[in-house]
Structure 1
Amino acid sequence: MAVSFLAREVSDLCLGKPALRSLPVSATVADALSALKRFGENWISVWRCEHSSRTKTDSDADCGCVGKLCLVDIICFLCREENLSRPSVALQSPVSDLLPKLPGLVRHLEPQSSLLEAIDYILEGTQNLIVPIESYTSFNSRKKILNKPSLFSSTLHNGREFCWLTQEDVIRFIFNSIGIFSPIPTITIESLNIIDTNVMAIYYHDPASSALPYISRSLTEQTSVAVIDRDNKLIGEISPFTLNGCDETVSAAITTLSAGDLMAYVDCGGLPEDLVQLVKERLEEKKLGSMLELMEEISASSSSSSDEESGLSRSGGSGRYSSARSSDAIVCHPWSSLVAVMIQALTHRVNYVWVVEEDYSLVGIVTFAGILKVFRSIAGARTSRPEGGNIFKQ
């Protein structure tokens, strides 16, 4: 029964998913930032459409998704040494400068492809699968969208709308039928050998800027950066999912604060005034006046926002709002069962759970990719498959 379940079509996972908003690869970083804020999106897809000489309509173009962007991509970009002193110039760079150079992170997949095929691609490193969807909205709005082209509005490519399929979507779909995989869900994560001990970690008092390579990598791998003390005890985390709920001025905090102070800076409930002042003072010391101007400009703009929006923090990369401390890490223990860990991750909308001992000593991390390996093993050895999931080259 479990094997037949994994043979289900991925179209079953697409039911009710919204169509992707898109951005052309010719757009600038500022365009991407504007789109993310304008639509309240956590992610936006980037497409290259090669139009024929006979037509300029998107339905007649050879279109492919070449990547996806979020606010953390922009934050890390602004934190680059060459961009810190001229953030306004950096924002005019092409969005292609933000896209990871690793091939296969985004892949197209047909609706009739199997869940097993989707899992295989994920285990090969694909982070998001692009699947075409047919909806009432796409059918009735196609003419309207094509007649009113906009940099951000069109969700149509090759005459079709598309949606993301993420690791969370696959795990949630499996969890809804978890009983058919018995007794595997009740086995401990230690016994299943899915605890990854090769974690990204930074000490509490280290400069937050030293975590930048880890932040970029954790964004790509959909994990997080552990913040530990000298005794290897987990204190918290610097999560790209949390940073994605901030604004671009957090790049100034990353540049000037320690890892511990950065966790306090991004926690919910408003920015601590003492840390804001500390960031401004250190920007002046570093002669980063342009970054300070950007920070004050965004601060002034934010203060004019409605009171309803203030004090809320978006996290989890899916538009979830929470009043909890955003830097608090979700943890389990080596003796936790697989299903318990899945419940924790799905409840908190994260793709990983930290593994600690009773004294909070960091053991490792369990990721959705690691969990998928367990369910994939049920179907036996991988078989050759047709090139249904193609990569649109950048």
Structure 2
Amino acid sequence: MAVPTFLNRNVSDLCVGKPALKPLSAAATVSEALALLNKSSEPHVSVWSCDHSKNVLEDECECRCVGKICMVDVICFLCKNENSDNLSKALETSVSQILPKGNLIVRHLAPNSSLLEAIDYILEGTQNLVIPVQNYIGGKSRKTQSKSSSLSCKHRDGIEYCWLTQEDVVRFLLNFIGVFSPITTSSIESLNIIDCNVMTIRYHEPAMSALDPLTLAHVEQTSVAVVDDLDRLIGEISPSTLAYCDETAAAAIMTLSAGDLLAYIDCGGPPEDLVDLVKVILQEKKLGALLELMDEELSLSSSSSCSVSSCSSDDELGVCRNNNGSGRYASARRAEAITCYPNSSLVAVMIQALAHRASSVWVMHEDNTLIGCVTFKGILKVFRSLANARPITR
């Protein structure tokens, strides 16, 4: 099969309309990152390392995106015993210290690179491709005159960047789905893209026992399945849901069962009875700093709360208004797991994942017992193999 022409298109074509990244300095503290995350409408913030030393010319400054940070990184960091015992010290830790080590999650890519090259990077483990934002009138990289702060990096020549995600690429490919027919109507089982090596936790087990799997799921863009004793899927602890929580979710992970955590992080905000339970257990464990953090966040939430609570018409897509008013939970995807079956077609799973903004879809038997999952990365493997092109030389 010849390589479809659109796979050789420049990645800059996918960047039209993408917002510019708000850079956070790698030297910023976790506390400063939290402040930026709580103000941002996006769940992730890009982290940059910029060399602005005096012996380097301004037009030669090396500015590189070295990673991204979201609430999941902060929550998992605060859950560690040494950090929950000394919360103030943990919050003063440099952001660079909590970025995943040894994983090229973020990579720079030239705007004239091909989509096929972008897919190859993703298959190697990249989550976000950092690309200079183009000025489509003059064809030059867009620049910004915004002032830098102690938290942000002012890039070389003021150039702005955006990034492409795995979801962006899959959504783009869906527009050309007919080119790959009839393979895309084949079942996911026949295409051998069901990953059976999934991470699970029992419903009644402490949520804290899923901390390491959750950290790995965050890197691999999957989730931790919550199952019953018969391996039937109950729900999922999803990084994409936790990314819209606040930092007090760390206290919930440290005190609740996996089943209760599902209710705590579901869209709409945590139920009052679970909030009270978390507080009681925090007191028993003498984790006063986390308790104070919860009280502070609840106070901020109540001060900005609305008198009317409601779910939006987009609830089928997993978007729900916070029943405590405004807040990060208002934009969260529901904790309910998105599922399919082995005989589901590739195109059906693609549409399902994109509609629910889910980076992975669980695969089940008819009796709800878990088989595995299909990820965006697995989907892209199919398209890459169909392209029948040689690996790109970089």
**Does TM-score exceed 0.5, indicating one fold?**
yes
Q: Measure how far apart 1:98 and its partner are.
A: 1.2
The answer to whether 1:84 aligns with 2:84 is yes
Pair 67,158 (structure 1): closer, same or farther in 2 beyond 3 Å:
farther
Q: Provide the C-alpha distance between the structure 2 equivalents of 1:375 and 1:359, rounded to a whole number of angstroms.
A: 31
- Matched with 2:43 is 42
User: 1:345 is matched with which residue: 344, 353, 366?
Assistant: 353
Q: Provide the C-alpha distance between the structure 2 equivalents of 1:68 and 1:143, rounded to a whole number of angstroms.
A: 21
Give the residue type in structure 1 aligned to 2:185: T
The answer to whether 1:286 aligns with 2:285 is yes
SS at match of 2:65: strand
Q: Provide the C-alpha distance between the structure 2 equivalents of 1:162 and 1:175, rounded to a whole number of angstroms.
A: 25
Conserved 8 A contact 2:204-2:259: yes
Query: CA-to-partner distance for each residue in 1:9-29, whole Å, 9 max, x for gaps?
Result: 111111110110001111100
Query: CA-to-partner distance for each residue in 1:144-184, whole Å, 9 max, x for gaps?
Result: 32xx3223566744532111111001000000111111111
5 Å-filtered alignment, 1:181-220, equals 181-220=180-219
SS at match of 2:12: helix
Q: Provide the C-alpha distance between the structure 1 equivalents of 2:85 and 2:224, rounded to a whole number of angstroms.
A: 26
Conserved 8 A contact 2:144-2:158: no
- Matched with 1:390 is none
Conserved 8 A contact 1:197-1:364: yes
TM-score where L is the length of structure 1? 0.90
Q: Measure how far apart 1:354 and its partner are.
A: 0.4
Give the residue type in structure 1 aligned to 2:102: L
Conserved 8 A contact 1:196-1:365: yes
Q: Measure how far apart 1:126 and its partner are.
A: 1.1
Q: Provide the C-alpha distance between the structure 1 equivalents of 2:361 and 2:256, rounded to a whole number of angstroms.
A: 26
Q: Provide the C-alpha distance between the structure 2 equivalents of 1:160 and 1:98, rounded to a whole number of angstroms.
A: 27
Conserved 8 A contact 1:208-1:262: yes
Pair 30,97 (structure 1): closer, same or farther in 2 beyond 3 Å:
same
SS at match of 2:107: strand
Query: CA-to-partner distance for each residue in 1:219-255, whole Å, 9 max, x for gaps?
Result: 1111111000110100000011111111101100100
Q: Measure how far apart 1:52 and its partner are.
A: 4.2
Q: Provide the C-alpha distance between the structure 2 equivalents of 1:347 and 1:143, rounded to a whole number of angstroms.
A: 33
- Matched with 2:65 is 65
Q: Provide the C-alpha distance between the structure 1 equivalents of 2:91 and 2:71, rounded to a whole number of angstroms.
A: 12
SS at match of 2:16: coil
Give the residue type in structure 2 aligned to 1:348: H
Conserved 8 A contact 2:50-2:155: no
The answer to whether 1:7 aligns with 2:15 is no
SS at match of 2:145: helix
Identity %: 58
SS at match of 1:49: strand
Conserved 8 A contact 2:28-2:151: no
Q: Provide the C-alpha distance between the structure 2 equivalents of 1:110 and 1:200, rounded to a whole number of angstroms.
A: 35
- Matched with 2:370 is 362
Q: Provide the C-alpha distance between the structure 2 equivalents of 1:262 and 1:126, rounded to a whole number of angstroms.
A: 29
Consecutive unaligned residues of structure 1, counting only runs of 5 or more, are: 387-394
Q: Provide the C-alpha distance between the structure 2 equivalents of 1:143 and 1:113, rounded to a whole number of angstroms.
A: 23
Give the residue type in structure 2 aligned to 1:9: N
Pair 382,137 (structure 1): closer, same or farther in 2 beyond 3 Å:
closer
Q: Measure how far apart 1:133 and its partner are.
A: 1.1
The answer to whether 1:270 aligns with 2:278 is no
Conserved 8 A contact 1:223-1:239: yes
Q: Provide the C-alpha distance between the structure 2 equivalents of 1:15 and 1:35, rounded to a whole number of angstroms.
A: 25
Pair 377,141 (structure 1): closer, same or farther in 2 beyond 3 Å:
closer
5 Å-filtered alignment, 1:1-394, equals 2-54=3-55, 60-135=60-135, 142=143, 144-145=145-146, 148-152=147-151, 156-307=155-306, 321-322=319-320, 326-380=334-388, 382-386=390-394
Conserved 8 A contact 1:86-1:291: no
TM-score where L is the length of structure 2? 0.90
Pair 226,309 (structure 1): closer, same or farther in 2 beyond 3 Å:
farther
Conserved 8 A contact 2:337-2:362: yes
Pair 140,375 (structure 1): closer, same or farther in 2 beyond 3 Å:
closer
Pair 232,183 (structure 1): closer, same or farther in 2 beyond 3 Å:
same
Q: Measure how far apart 1:305 and its partner are.
A: 0.9
Conserved 8 A contact 2:141-2:160: no
Pair 268,83 (structure 1): closer, same or farther in 2 beyond 3 Å:
same
Pair 265,143 (structure 1): closer, same or farther in 2 beyond 3 Å:
closer
Q: Provide the C-alpha distance between the structure 1 equivalents of 2:60 and 2:31, rounded to a whole number of angstroms.
A: 28
Pair 137,228 (structure 1): closer, same or farther in 2 beyond 3 Å:
farther
Equivalent residues, number: 379
Give the residue type in structure 2 aligned to 1:280: K
Query: CA-to-partner distance for each residue in 1:269-314, whole Å, 9 max, x for gaps?
Result: 332222111111111111111111111111111110141897779x
